[in-house]
Structure formats: structure tokens, C-alpha cells
Amino acid sequence: MSVKKIIVGISGASGSIYGIDLLKKLKQVANIETHLVMSDWAKENIKKETNYQPAEVAEMADFVYDNHNLGARIASGSFLIDAMVIVPASMKTIAGVSIGFDEDLIMRSAGVMLKEQRKLILVPRETPLSAIHLENLSKLAKLGVQIIPPIPSFYDHPQTIQDIINHQTMKTMDALRIKNKIGRRWNV
């Protein structure tokens, strides 16, 4: 079985725990290789919002890149990657991706995914959404980007915050076509 290579970009939006949880769950799956990029603000939010340190999060990935290194291999279309998830995705990052502004490695890698027509998933974390945010997201959706906002479901009767996070990770892994039994699914 071949190895599936996935880039996980953690931007500076609130909700870094979603990216951390995805990394933890991907690490448990055989034949998955993760490539992590964290923005400077992601590292700050990890310290503010979670019980993790950025170095601990980096240890969850197979490969880690400096967000300022536009010469990293994931910045090139010749490096074969199966999918990329930006989780959480800040509106700044989404805006940059939507206009092709490759200011940092997260945006550049997302741009590569678009130009190479590879799987790109965004987990936008902002509310309320302005018309500009919606235009950027709509533009990217029309280009084939999958938008999976972290909106909790209640049919699964979440009891903890981790239950809500699990549901989001389940939905993201479903979009990556990775079989999982993370959260409760709709069952009538």
C-alpha cells in the first residue's frame, strides 16, 4: 500500500486544537505521512488556547517546515502531495490563497495544490463572516476547494468539547478519504 502524503497547515486563527487533533488522529493511521506548517500566530494560539507547546505539536508530524521558507519542498508542484488541510484557516490565509498571494509557506503550498489540481481542504474559523470572507470562500469552493467549517452537530449528543472536536476531525478525515471511527455518525 502506498503512503498518502498530507500537508497540515495551522494558521493563526483561533481553534488550533482542531489542527492538533487532526495530527494526532492521522498519526494513528498506517501509511499516512504528515507535513506540518504552523504560522507564527498559530504557535502563539497553541500556547494560549491549549495545554500544548508548539514543539510538542511539531513532534506529532513526520516533517515540519518553517512557514517563512518558501524554498521548502512542499512549495513545489514537483513534490507529490495527496492533499492539504488548513485547520484552522484564518481569513487572512484564505484571502491570500484566493488571490494567489504566496506570502508564506502555508499560502504557497495551498496555491500549489490549486495549480496542480490536488485536494485542498479549508477549515475556516471566523464569525460572523463578512461579504469579503464569503466571496473568498465562494471563489475557492468554485475552484474545487472543500470548505469544512467547524460547526458542531448535535444529533450525536456531544457531552464534551472533545466530542465536538472529534466530530470535526471525523468530517475532515472523511473528506481526505481516510476511513475512521472517530465520532458518532448519523443513524436513524
Q: What is the DSSP string of 43-96?
A: HHHHHHHSS--HHHHHTTSSEEEETT-TTSGGGSTTS--SEEEEEEE-HHHHHH
For residue 187, what pLDDT is reported?
Answer: 79
Fold of 4-154: Rossmann fold (3.40.50)
Could you read off the pLDDT of 116-156 as tens digits, one per residue?
999 999 999 999 999 999 999 999 999 999 999 999 999 98
DSSP 3-state assignment of 168? helix
Whether 39 shows a pLDDT value over 90: the answer reads: yes
**C-alpha to C-alpha distance for 137 and 135, rounded to whole angstroms:** 5
Q: What are phi and psi of 107, to 5 degrees?
A: -65, -40
Cβ–Cβ < 8 Å for 32, 4: yes
Note the Cα 16 to chain centre separation in Å.
Answer: 10
Q: How confident is the model at residue 184 (pLDDT cuts 50, 70, 90)?
A: confident
Distance CA 113, CA 83 (A): 7
* Per-residue model confidence (pLDDT) at position 188: 58
- Give the CA-trace dihedral at 107, 104, 48, 173, to 10 degrees: 30
Report pTM: 0.96
**Per-residue pLDDT at 185:** 83
What whole-number distance in Å separates Cα of residue 145 and Cα of residue 124? 12
Cα separation, 152 vs 169, whole angstroms? 11
